[in-house]
């Protein structure tokens, strides 16, 4: 048997499989499931995610019979399990015995049993019962050879990311008391002297419920942090149990892509393997672009280590208003995209399509028509194909550019009813900057401003509303060392307690960026503004939503000026040389094209190429082990294209060695193995315009 390093997934191939709910089916189907799984190349399944009520039918009595039988059956077929601790949803008896474990919404309404995740994250009763089950699961299956990975809970925060019940309120008060100590420190941090909110006792503090008017933004921000921490504590408590009993088995919980409610930097730090559930909308022809950003985050959460796509839909989901299926080939390409971006496998929700319940119209690897279903054919074809990519397992993704993602800034910049404009959306801005980098041909990592590892030439900060001295120092060190930094508008406005930095924005970044912001000038809905072209090189830039009245420092060079409206003639984009690098500040929310124009210039300063008007639907991502580069060429468009690739590169998917331009059909892909290049090199793949109709 293979010996696996401690706390790594116990699998020696790319993971392929999905969520499996055998308890929704008569046992007679299990043999067929295992047979078809093997036929499809499945080597791992996730179970029993929602089966707590079946394992513990009466309090304290665990019935593992059926679970033993299915795990043994799977293992007889060589299929491993990503074993859920089954704590994702409590049984009805527990909820009836202790109705106070049910969560409350912001209006104080108790959310009733009848869906899933029927628990308050802060409930000590829920935690006690969940940990008991976790312990029982670990004792039962810790030594089972099929156990590849622990899957804790499921999608923390999916349905209940925030709870306002009395238990949560008490937990919030404890959390605050630990953070601030004396109540006067809380008054100071929250600025309670505004609007007469001063507290004399922690007992008087409540979570920010529906109130008469705008909520204290500092209180709101702390509630966001607390709520993320409350689920993190639950996660940590389960991890502690598992570490005690099975110290060598890796643990994970499945993330939900760029999910606002949980600070995934914190969650990733305590687990062994990052896993993600990703559901790009097949109705959106550009869905692969935000997907690339999401995957950039997933591989970056643990500093570039491989991660795993734990769930995706084989075709349609069931939870959008309109659930469009994936056209033939889309599921394969989406899977290859995740692998290109560092996922060591591609998994699904779910194996066998449900017959009942809210997800009976959600696609599955084995559709309602069984092995005759289209999804099964595509599943089996991909399972066979992934075996050809065994060599990419464990390799790293090469990126020279990183985008900063800061949850505090995401939360703070979304404070309702108290911002200069409600239109400047953190996620939209982050996606827009990333989208421009994608269009210019770059694979982008996602980082924290305080943790800029070696090897980046350009750091892009779409928005850092809340900025600290530590972040400023880290960014300054990056620039001084020769990096290019570009910072978007409404950044470094407040400190971590939501207080405006002395002297205004961009507070701790003022010296680095060489600029002071005098006033925000958000644009009314529908109004656009223009900014002069940069050094005569590009068309006029356009801005919507947001502009600023800024005062450049004498050290800064004005790169572009507003040329319309009240700000006409004033600086819009400045560049401040510092050490061996430079910091750029963009004071407006630019249109997508304009972002590309600005980034082209910044990429040039960083010594990085920008691809020109090539086929924008083609994405190129390189994984490398230092000896071999694996260049993934992914045509996300429906139209065929032709790509010039390094001569002699071997396409692992076809075993054909490239000797000229590579023709890719719509939704086509190639994975080219070539000797590794110097990391500074851009993968030299050029794309010619589309020239073949599918
Ligand atoms: C009213 C209120 C003030 C202040 C202003 C803000 O005038 O009386 O306290 O909130 O609105 O415009
Ligand atoms: C998430 C959940 C699954 C399932 C799918 C449906 O990924 O983890 O249990 O509900 O969504 O898309």
The answer to whether residues 528 and 542 touch, using CB atoms and an 8 Å cutoff, is yes
- Tell me what pLDDT residue 689 has: 45
Tokens of 90: 């409590």
Kindly report the length of the chain. Answer: 694
- Tell me what pLDDT residue 679 has: 54
- Tell me what pLDDT residue 614 has: 64
Atom number in ligand 2 closest to CA 49:
9
Q: Whose CA is nearest to atom 1 of ligand 2?
A: 277
Q: Give the ligand at the shortest distance from the Cα of 213.
A: 1
Atom number in ligand 2 closest to CA 154:
8
- Tell me what pLDDT residue 691 has: 35
Kindly list the distances between the CA atom of residue 640 and the CA atoms of 82, 107, 340, 615, 658, in Å, as whole numbers in the listed order: 38, 53, 20, 10, 17
In whole angstroms, what is the distance from residue 367 CA to residue 557 CA? 60
- Tell me what pLDDT residue 536 has: 64
Catalytic annotation present for 188:
no
pLDDT along the chain (694 residues), means of 10: 91 98 98 98 98 97 98 98 98 98 98 96 98 98 98 97 98 98 98 98 97 96 98 97 98 98 97 98 98 98 96 98 98 98 98 98 98 98 98 96 98 93 97 97 96 92 98 98 98 98 98 98 95 77 96 97 94 98 98 95 94 82 94 95 90 93 95 81 46 32
Q: Give the ligand at the shortest distance from the Cα of 255.
A: 2
pTM of the full predicted structure?
A: 0.96
- Tell me what pLDDT residue 684 has: 45
Q: Is residue 154 within 6 Å of ligand 2 at its C-beta?
A: yes
Q: Is residue 155 within 6 Å of ligand 2 at its C-beta?
A: yes
pLDDT in tens, 476-495: 999 999 999 999 999 999 99
In whole angstroms, what is the distance from residue 660 CA to residue 519 CA? 56
Q: Is residue 277 within 6 Å of ligand 2 at its C-beta?
A: yes
In angstroms, how far is CA 108 from the centroid of its own chain?
A: 30
Cα 501 to middle of ligand 1, angstroms: 23
Task: Please pick, among 56, 155, 238, 498, the residue that the annotation labels catalytic.
Answer: 155
Q: Is residue 349 within 6 Å of ligand 2 at its C-beta?
A: yes
- Tell me what pLDDT residue 616 has: 86
Pocket test for ligand 2, best of 20, 252, 254, 277 (most atoms within 8 A of CB): 277
Who's near 277: CB < 8 A, 6+ residues apart? 155, 254, 255, 256, 257, 309, 310, 311, 312, 349
Task: Please pick, among 56, 261, 311, 619, the residue that the annotation labels catalytic.
Answer: 311
Catalytic annotation present for 27:
no
- Tell me what pLDDT residue 694 has: 28
């Amino acid at each position: 048997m293979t010996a696996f390093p401690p706390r790594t997934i116990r699998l020696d191939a790319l993971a392929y499989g999905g969520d499996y709910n055998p308890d929704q089916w008569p046992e007679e189907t299990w043999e067929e499931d295992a047979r078809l799984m093997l036929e499809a190349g499945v080597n791992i399944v996730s179970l029993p995610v929602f089966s707590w009520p079946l394992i513990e039918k009466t309090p304290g009595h665990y019935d593992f019979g059926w679970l033993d039988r299915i795990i043994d059956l799977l293992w007889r077929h060589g299929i491993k399990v990503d074993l859920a601790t089954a704590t994702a949803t409590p049984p009805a008896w527990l909820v009836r015995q202790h109705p106070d474990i049910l969560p409350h919404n912001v209006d104080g309404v108790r959310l009733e049993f009848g869906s899933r995740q029927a628990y308050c994250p802060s409930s000590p009763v829920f935690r006690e019962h969940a940990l008991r089950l976790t312990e029982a699961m670990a004792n039962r299956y810790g030594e089972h050879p099929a156990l590849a990975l622990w899957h804790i809970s499921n999608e923390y925060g999916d349905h209940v990311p925030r709870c306002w019940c009395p238990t949560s309120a008490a937990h919030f008060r404890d959390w605050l008391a630990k953070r601030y100590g004396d109540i006067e420190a809380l008054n100071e941090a929250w600025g309670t002297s505004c609007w007469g909110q001063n507290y004399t006792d922690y007992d008087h503090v409540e979570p920010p419920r529906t109130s008469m008017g705008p909520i204290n933004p500092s209180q709101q921000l702390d509630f966001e942090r607390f709520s993320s921490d409350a689920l993190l504590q639950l996660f940590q408590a389960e991890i502690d149990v598992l570490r005690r009993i099975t110290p060598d088995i890796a643990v994970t919980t499945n993330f939900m892509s760029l999910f606002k409610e949980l600070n995934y930097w914190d969650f990733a730090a305590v687990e062994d393997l990052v896993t993600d559930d990703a559901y790009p909308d097949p109705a959106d022809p550009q869905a692969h672009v935000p997907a690339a950003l999401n995957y950039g985050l997933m591989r970056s959460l643990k500093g570039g280590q491989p991660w795993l796509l734990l769930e995706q839909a084989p075709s349609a989901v069931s939870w959008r208003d309109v659930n469009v299926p994936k056209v033939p080939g889309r599921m394969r390409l989406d899977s290859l995209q995740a692998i290109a971006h560092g996922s060591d496998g591609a998994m699904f929700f779910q194996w066998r399509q449900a017959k009942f319940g809210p997800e009976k119209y959600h696609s599955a690897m084995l559709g309602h028509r069984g092995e005759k279903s289209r999804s099964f054919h595509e599943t089996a074809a991909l399972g066979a194909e992934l075996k050809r990519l065994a060599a990419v397992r464990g390799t790293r993704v090469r990126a020279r550019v990183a985008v900063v993602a800061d949850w505090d800034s995401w939360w703070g910049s979304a404070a309702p009813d108290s911002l200069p404009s409600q239109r400047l959306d953190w996620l939209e801005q982050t996606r827009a900057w990333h989208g421009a980098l994608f269009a210019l041909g770059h694979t982008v990592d996602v980082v924290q401003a305080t943790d800029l590892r070696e090897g980046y030439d350009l750091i892009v900060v779409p928005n850092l509303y809340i900025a600290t001295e530590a972040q400023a120092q880290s960014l300054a060190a990056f620039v001084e060392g020769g990096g290019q930094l570009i910072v978007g508008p409404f950044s470094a406005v407040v400190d971590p307690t939501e207080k405006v930095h002395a002297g205004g924005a961009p507070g701790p970044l003022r010296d680095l960026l060489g600029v002071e912001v005098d006033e925000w000038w958000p644009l009314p809905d529908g109004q656009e503004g223009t900014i002069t072209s940069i050094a005569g090189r590009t068309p006029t830039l356009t801005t919507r939503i947001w502009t600023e009245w800024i005062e450049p420092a004498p050290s800064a060079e004005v790169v572009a000026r507003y040329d319309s409206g009240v700000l006409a003639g004033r600086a819009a984009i400045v560049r401040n040389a510092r050490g061996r690098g430079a910091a750029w500040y963009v004071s407006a929310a630019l249109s997508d094209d304009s972002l590309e124009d600005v980034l082209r210039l910044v990429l040039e300063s960083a010594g990085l190429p920008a691809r020109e008007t090539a086929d924008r639907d083609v994405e190129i991502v390189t994984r490398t082990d230092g000896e071999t580069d694996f260049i993934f060429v992914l045509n996300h468009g429906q139209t065929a294209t032709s790509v010039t690739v390094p001569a002699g590169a071997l396409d692992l998917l076809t075993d054909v060695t490239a000797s000229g331009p590579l023709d890719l059909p719509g939704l086509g892909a190639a994975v080219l193995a070539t000797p590794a290049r110097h990391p500074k090199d851009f993968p030299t793949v050029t794309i010619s315009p589309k020239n073949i109709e599918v």
